[in-house]
Structure 1
Amino acid sequence: MNLYLQTPEITVWQGHCLEVMQTLPDASVNLIVTDPPYHTTKKANIAGDKDFKTDEDYWEWLDIISQQWQRLLAPNGSLYCFASPKMAARVEVLLGKRFNILSSITWTKPNEPGYDGWKQKTKKESLRSWYLHSERIIFAEAALPDNPNQSPFGTLLRKTRLAAGMSTIELTGAMGEYGKVNHGGTVSNWETGRNIPTAEQYGKLKAVLKQVAPEVPGLPDYQQIIRPFFATADIPYTDIWDFPTVKHYPGKHPAEKPLEMMLHMIKVSSYPDDVVLDCFAGSGVVGQAAKMLGRRAVLIEISANLCDKIVKNMS
């Protein structure tokens, strides 16, 4: 384990991701964007891709890695984990033990003619299944250990409301947030994770609970507990993403992801100055995107040569 670079914006570690992550503090990461070995591609030029003799070996390893992700992710945190289409269903089930799964995103990779790689070369008549021309990205949020289907905010709100002796209807009414049909629906929806309060609504929520039950510990600040998600109509907001792959260039990482897609994930799912972790850093593109957006990045890469390239690109 070797610390390659440490600045206020970027920290680069060279070493095994598990060893490095074990040294990081609990709840110290706001967003995880990472691309583990796929295991199915068996590429010798991708670190870790041929390390597992059986599928079960791979699942056991990924489960151990995900334990660290769970420990490191803050209550307001999100996770984007890349997966091959063949393995994505199993990856989603595995991560569902520790995180609240929100989406399985399909990245379609709509390359320009002449840049379709093996798709262009494949003899279509010899196929016996649909050609794999997409990747999956499992999107999830932090969850409590005893309830992976519930966000920390929803659980904390219910606990605080009950300690204050209020029903969902009473709390909704006191805030002036009555719905047209279900008068308790606003707070109920927040507790179940169907939606989240705005910063203004959250301020009202804290004020009412403090006034009604000053002896009950108050809710934390908005950004400490509310998961950021800044989707708009003018950016990709569905679970189908059309980002072209990175064209070949000298020194390109074989699994390099497009910068535009990394910028999209980080901008939508983090606050300024948040900590973004990539424990399979590869080309370092997650760090580049984080730096461009005013976030702090922690990058872990096992290859010293790639760490050299990452540091060079960051300077």
Structure 2
Amino acid sequence: MKSNTWDNQWPDVETFLAWLDEVLVEFWRVLKPSGSLYLFCGSKLSAETEILIKNRFKVLNHIVWAKPSGAWKRSHKPSLRSFFPATERIIFAEHYGAEGFAKGANGYATKCNQLKQEVFKPLINYFKNARTALNISAKEINEATSSQMCSHWFSSSQWKLPTEKQYKQLQKLFSLRGDELSRTHGGLVKERAELLNKYEHLLLEYQDLKKQYDYLRRPFGVTSEVPYTDVWVYPPVQYYPGKHPCEKPADLLDHVILTSSKEGQLVLDAFMGSGSTGKQCLKLNRKFIGVEMEEATFKNTIVGFN
């Protein structure tokens, strides 16, 4: 047990878990559809804690925080009756259906579709106008290309660029129809290389504009330079006068904040303690809300922020 009063307020495990479930209800209420939940817990109650979280959230990982140093080095090994806990657990979760809900609630699919139609409008109109001018049916197009792709080449919502082979088949069909109508224009007269060049430029524009909608998804970004598996190795915070018993190392907090939030976004630490999370949020240009019920700890934390 920790030395502070907070961690010793529950008479038994059942009472603690009942309290934790009430807390999870509030976490469920305040967590945004695109938000992430990280809950630290000891190894002894990690299974029970994960089950509680799973009842209300989608658990993404049960992360093992392996500490390379700790109290076990000072323990009397012959007296042990089980393996000494050298890890802490971090349950990483999101809302059930978060990805679909976040996109749906914010109109992600609709916005991306509208954006695509707007950006690729010059190419879309080139195909649509050629077909309209020569009055070529979908059946004729599909038969000429041995495909069912007419709706993808000649409509706005599903538009895509034909392959080289398909485009030549379309050109042949449109040229024949133009000859039948004694027309020298109105067909697919441009070379595909010209269209492809235009398409690639528009695609870059589309992808760049589409990034503005990425905030609708749950942020998550790791590289080979940071822990990207579910086992993390960080040394615990070494003792110093006034150290909070549950203080987390700055490097670990940086990893969590950078992985699951973007600059300017809001991070909540509902058990602020020494305020380590808040300090790292300020350093990394995130907004921060911290909650701390122990008055003495809160006053010390505020001093640390000033």
Q: TM bucket by the smaller chain?
A: 0.5 to 0.7
Return the index of the structure with the highest Cα Rg.
Answer: 2
1:2-81 superposed matches below 5 A: 41=1, 43=2, 45-81=3-39
**Structure 1: which 5+ runs fail to align?**
1-40, 165-169, 178-198, 207-219
Q: What do the CA deviations read for 1:22-41 (whole angstroms, capped 9, x no partner)?
A: xxxxxxxxxxxxxxxxxxx2
Aligned pair 1:82/2:74, yes or no? no
2:266–2:286: 8 Å Cα contact kept in structure 1? yes
Aligned partner of 2:79 in structure 1 is 126
The alignment partner of 2:37 has SS state of: strand
2:33–2:101: 8 Å Cα contact kept in structure 1? no
- The whole-number CA distance in structure 1 between the counterparts of 2:305 and 2:248 is 17
Aligned pair partner of 1:174 in 158, 179, 186: 158
> Relative to structure 2, which stretch is displaced further, 48-57 or 76-85?
48-57
Q: How many residues align?
A: 218
- The whole-number CA distance in structure 2 between the counterparts of 1:306 and 1:252 is 10
1:46–1:255: 8 Å Cα contact kept in structure 2? no
Following TM superposition, by how much is the alpha carbon of 1:233 offset from its aligned partner in structure 2, in angstroms? 1.0
Aligned partner of 1:262 in structure 2 is 253
> Which protein has the bigger strand share?
1
Aligned pair 1:226/2:184, yes or no? no
Aligned partner of 2:262 in structure 1 is 271
Aligned residue type for 2:13: D
Aligned partner of 2:66 in structure 1 is 108
Aligned pair 1:307/2:291, yes or no? no
> Relative to structure 2, which stretch is displaced further, 294-303 or 152-161?
152-161
**Structure 2: which 5+ runs fail to align?**
114-151, 162-204
- The whole-number CA distance in structure 2 between the counterparts of 1:200 and 1:235 is 30
Aligned pair partner of 2:226 in 232, 235, 245: 235
Following TM superposition, by how much is the alpha carbon of 1:47 offset from its aligned partner in structure 2, in angstroms? 3.8
Q: Report sequence identity in percent.
A: 34
The alignment partner of 2:9 has SS state of: coil
Aligned pair 1:153/2:100, yes or no? yes
1:108–1:243: 8 Å Cα contact kept in structure 2? yes
- The whole-number CA distance in structure 2 between the counterparts of 1:249 and 1:297 is 25
Give the alignment's TM-score, normalised by structure 2. Answer: 0.65
Change (3 A) 1:226 1:51: same
Following TM superposition, by how much is the alpha carbon of 1:176 offset from its aligned partner in structure 2, in angstroms? 5.6
- The whole-number CA distance in structure 2 between the counterparts of 1:249 and 1:175 is 63
- The whole-number CA distance in structure 2 between the counterparts of 1:242 and 1:230 is 18
Q: What do the CA deviations read for 1:64-115 (whole angstroms, capped 9, x no partner)?
A: 111111111111100110011011111111011111110011011112xxxx
Change (3 A) 1:122 1:72: same
Q: CA RMSD in A?
A: 2.9
2:99–2:218: 8 Å Cα contact kept in structure 1? no
- The whole-number CA distance in structure 1 between the counterparts of 2:22 and 2:91 is 17
- The whole-number CA distance in structure 1 between the counterparts of 2:159 and 2:54 is 34
Q: Which of structures 1 and 2 has the larger relative contact order (alpha carbons within 8 angstroms, sep 6+)?
A: 1
Following TM superposition, by how much is the alpha carbon of 1:51 offset from its aligned partner in structure 2, in angstroms? 1.5
- The whole-number CA distance in structure 2 between the counterparts of 1:281 and 1:121 is 29
